[in-house]
Chains A and B, each alone.
Chain A
Amino acid sequence: MNLDALMVFIMITPLFSAGIIALFLRDKGTVASWLSVAASGVILALSILLLLNAPEKPYSSSIEWFAVGELTISLGFLLNEHTHLLLFVVSFVGFWIHLFSIGYMDDDKAKARFFGGLSIFMFSMLGIVLADNLAMIFIFWELVGFSSYMLIAHYCDTDEAAAASKKAFIVNRVGDLGFLIGIVWCFWKFGTLDLSQIDLAVQLDPSLAVTGLGLLLICGFLGKSAQFPLHVWLPDAMAGPTPISALIHAATMVAAGIFLLVRIDVLLTPFVLEWIAWTGAGMAFIAGFVALGQNDIKKILAYSTLSQLGYMAAAVGIGLPGLGLFHLTTHAFFKALLFLCSGSIIHACHHEQDIFKMGGLFKRMPITSIAFLAGMVALMGANYTAGYWSKEAIMTAAFALDGPIFWFLIGGAVMTALYMGRLFFIAFLGKPRSPGVEHCKESGPIMLLPLLVLGVLALVGGFYTYWPEILSQSFISEANEVYHGEEFHHAHETLKVWGTVAWISGLIIAFAIYGLGTKGDRVANKIPPLYALFRRRLFIDDVYDFYVAKIQQRFVDILGFLDLFLISGVMVRGSAGIAGLVGVFSRSLHVGSVHAYVYWFLLGIVLFWAFAMGWF
């Protein structure tokens, strides 16, 4: 089995699908959708084939793409235990979301654009997963950014989607600038961008990993994984179609940031790791509060994604990146599931997204509701569900290794149960609060099948000891250490109780506040300032708006004036004006009469003569 050919096929399949759709199937939405789904099915099959044949040791191969001076950019694949896991997550979750999209997008006018975008996203994401050097990662990093932009803007005739796509793109550019500078620095320092060689170099000489480099490289992570202070784009990105939120903005692309951290783990110094841990833990805790102030079902889930990404970052930060990948995987299952469930609801309720207008969904959409419940218990970390194993492992490790981080994480766990309880009680229980919701029906089988598959995985997907070894090898030693090791024994015993207490207490608080569904938000009625703080997202977006409108815009105005006056006015128009004047003058000499030319000739002779005589 030729591994290279297999990986090239995995990459080319979605690109081919996207190309065919863009060139020939623009107005044949149904054909395009099935082509895209078929492509994702082929990706899944090839990925499984690859995983079955994967070599024991890390495998890498590359070809030179081009060379400029000392800089050689190569295209290549690096297949190791992290790649195995991510490849499976992307192709598996991706396939089910593709399938779901057929049902969800059935009445959409721009189906072909949507499915073409999905395919180009799969291509870019697989590129990040398989790439063996930072330059290639960066290229595909930008490509996922582009596909995210394109798909957020799917409903581009609404202002919300147009603004959200721009916001996502620009905020990500801010992070990517740091990432790019980091890559350049990396090349300057190591003379190569190849991940394996960098790995080797740092192992030989640990002093090569410097803090500044790590801080620059994690800028890419902060942007893509939407961590503070670049988290503001993710909630807005929910303006895109729901399958996009599930695939790109929950399961895979935002997790690519975590994957990047794992890839460049050797370059992260203790200071950088501490930074990552605190950013993640803070986000895990704070995002829960903001989720309490949101009424849009997808925005609540978006803040939940922020919080869960925070857990993964914290895991990387405390030195156990494998657990981060573990949580990434289970999160991909249950968060994709939650988004697909909300997609099923939104589709059935004629694009109603406000949870206060829903209510009573449990009776009307039982299968979706049960699947949602499965995703929700997994997200809360209810005992023995998928989320329990991964989240509990992170919290246990944090308890043993870094006390303060742990308090944020367990606080985050309470908040998770609280906002998910609020969402569930309000949207699924009680009575419908708008006519559209009253008549909603359960979705069709093509949408329910992905829900069931992911629902089962959300419940039982956490029993990592039963996973195929090829998938679990990236984290199994760390997870076993946490669950069975001596060092973590006390922490594990404690967390068994506390973890359970956390999610149950969160649910009880949610029940105490919101009951079995209420008309308005009770926090909003009782403590308006607190609710306003949550609803306005802690005013962070407002601070950015202020900065952009009042500070940056002033600066831009000055630059704009300089551009208009100095560059355009004086330099460009000025030199053009001088050349023009010379032209006007010399044109006036050409009067068109031969006699006049004789006079000019005479004048020239006199001048030459005078010059030859030394008169001037």
Chain B
Amino acid sequence: MTLSLNSFLLISGLLFAIGFFGVLLRRNVLVIFMSLEMMLNAAILALVAFSRFNGIMDGNIFVFFIITVAAAEIAVGLAIIVALFRKRQSVMVEQLSSLKN
């Protein structure tokens, strides 16, 4: 059985939606961060699918860049979260509102 492009796009859209709502609704920074990564991977999936569908390598090459950037982002982001936890003993977003006051 071969999977059509639509199936890939559907999966990609679902992943993106899950990630997006995760960012919107979850309170734990770590989970929000994971959701962000999920959105990124949804985009990667879509790119690979289109690349395969069109038979050109542009999308695949673009994916490598995204993976590189995502790795760098994770390194920075996790470091920030660790530093945040050390300072506040908490990673809950509603407690991170000192800019407001």
Contact = CB atoms under 8 A, between A and B. Distances in A.
B36 to A, nearest CB: 10
Nearest to B99: A592
Interface residues of B, number: 12
Interface in A590-616: 590-595, 598-599
Contact of A593 (B25, B93, B101): B93
B99 A590 contact: yes
A595 B93 contact: yes
Interface in B43-77: none
Contacts, number: 21
Given A598-B23, A598-B24, A592 B100 contact: yes
- Lowest 10 A-B CB distances belong to which pairs? A592-B100, A592-B97, A594-B93, A598-B24, A598-B23, A592-B99, A593-B97, A595-B24, A593-B94, A594-B96
Contacts of A599: 24
A77 to B, nearest CB: 69
A592 B93 contact: no
Interface string B19-44: 00001110000001000000000000
A591 B97 CA distance: 8
Contacts of B97: 592-593
Contacts of B99: 590, 592
A32 B94 CA distance: 75
Nearest to B94: A593
Interface residues on A, range: under 10
Nearest to B27: A595
Given A595-B24, A598-B23, A590 B93 contact: no
Interface of B: 23-25, 32, 93-94, 96-101
Interface of A: 590-595, 598-599
Contacts of A590: 99-100
A374 to B, nearest CB: 88
Contacts of B93: 593-595
A592 to B, nearest CB: 2
B18 to A, nearest CB: 15
Nearest to B96: A594
Contact of A591 (B32, B96, B98, B100): B100
A592 B97 CA distance: 5
Contacts of B100: 590-593
Given A592-B98, A594-B32, A594-B96, 16 more contacts: A590-B99, A590-B100, A591-B100, A592-B97, A592-B99, A592-B100, A592-B101, A593-B93, A593-B94, A593-B97, A593-B100, A594-B93, A595-B24, A595-B25, A595-B93, A598-B23
A232 B99 CA distance: 68
Nearest to A594: B93
A528 B16 CA distance: 108
Contacts of B23: 598
21 contacts: A590-B99, A590-B100, A591-B100, A592-B97, A592-B98, A592-B99, A592-B100, A592-B101, A593-B93, A593-B94, A593-B97, A593-B100, A594-B32, A594-B93, A594-B96, A595-B24, A595-B25, A595-B93, A598-B23, A598-B24, A599-B24
